[in-house]
Amino acid sequence: DVKVTQSSRYLVKRTGEKVFLECVQDMDHENMFWYRQDPGLGLRLIYFSYDVKMKEKGDIPEGYSVSREKKERFSLILESASTNQTSMYLCASSSLAGDYNEQFFGPGTRLTVL
Amino acid sequence: QKEVEQNSGPLSVPEGAIASLNCTYSDRVSQSFFWYRQYSGKSPELIMSIYSNGDKEDGRFTAQLNKASQYVSLLIRDSQPSDSATYLCAVSSLFNTDKLIFGTGTRLQVFP
């Protein structure tokens, strides 16, 4: 089974802090994604990566950066956290192999910025 | 127009009934279609994938795809209270198959 893990389930940070969210997958997937999910807005893509050191902006990249130094690990960085970044953050991965591109999600990190 | 649209619900059905969840999409060249189940406070879990027109069955779940009408549906037979969750529809494009576009989900409530 695909396993995607995230470093924290719950996180509370203060405005202006630098925040690191980490995601690890164990299925050798090429693609990794970071989303945030807010009530009424659904899942919105922040960044994704299709290979080590490669990244592409999603729909809402402002205020975020990412790092992918190893294939299995994809980090989301909030350089200076703000209250409007309080949200559920979801990491996902998918494979380029075969015809299908199902994404598999980690358990999520609920971030609160005070 | 939203790219992937779902009725937010809640859709309430009695235990044992068939729940029918619908999703429409705007990109005519969409290629792959997915249904995710998300329990409150949890992350989305993939339950069905469909790529060709017609029906695909997996246990109590049936996904139906009609590309000409640009809709995809999920039927849940013999609904159980444990099926109560939000169901997300997701679609990928022929030209960007790596990314999925998600609907905002339909909340299903199955009452005993």
Distances, alpha carbon B80 to alpha carbons A44, A80, A94, in Å: 30, 45, 30
Cross-chain CB nearest to A45 (options B44, B88, B99): B99
Mean pLDDT of chain A: 93
Residue A41 φ/ψ region, left for φ over 0, alpha for ψ in the -120 to 50 degree band, beta for the rest: alpha
Residues of B with a Cβ under 8 Å from any A Cβ are 32, 34, 36, 42-46, 49, 51, 88, 90, 92, 97-100, 102-105
Report yes or no: A109 at the B interface, CB cutoff 8 Å.
no
Residue of A nearest to B87 (CA): A42
pLDDT in 10s for each residue of chain B, 112 residues = 568 999 988 999 999 999 999 999 998 888 899 999 999 999 999 999 999 999 999 999 999 999 999 999 999 999 999 999 999 999 987 666 788 999 999 999 999 9
Residue of B nearest to A36 (CA): B43
Comparing C-alpha atoms, which of B108, B100, B40 is closest to residue B74?
B108
Residue of A nearest to B103 (CA): A42
Q: Which residue has the higher pLDDT, B45 or A95?
A: B45
Query: Residue B90: its chain A contacts at CB < 8 A?
Result: 103
| Tens-place pLDDT, residues A7-54 | 999 999 999 999 999 999 998 999 999 999 998 888 999 999 999 989
- The residue assigned the tokens 């235990």 is B15
Peptide bond into B10 cis (omega under 30): yes
> So what's the pLDDT on residue B31?
82
Cross-chain CB nearest to B97 (options A45, A48, A101): A101
**Exposure class string for B3-29: b at 16+ Cβ within 10 A, else e:** ebbbeeeebebeeeeebebbbbbebee
Comparing C-alpha atoms, which of A91, A43, A107 is closest to residue B101?
A43
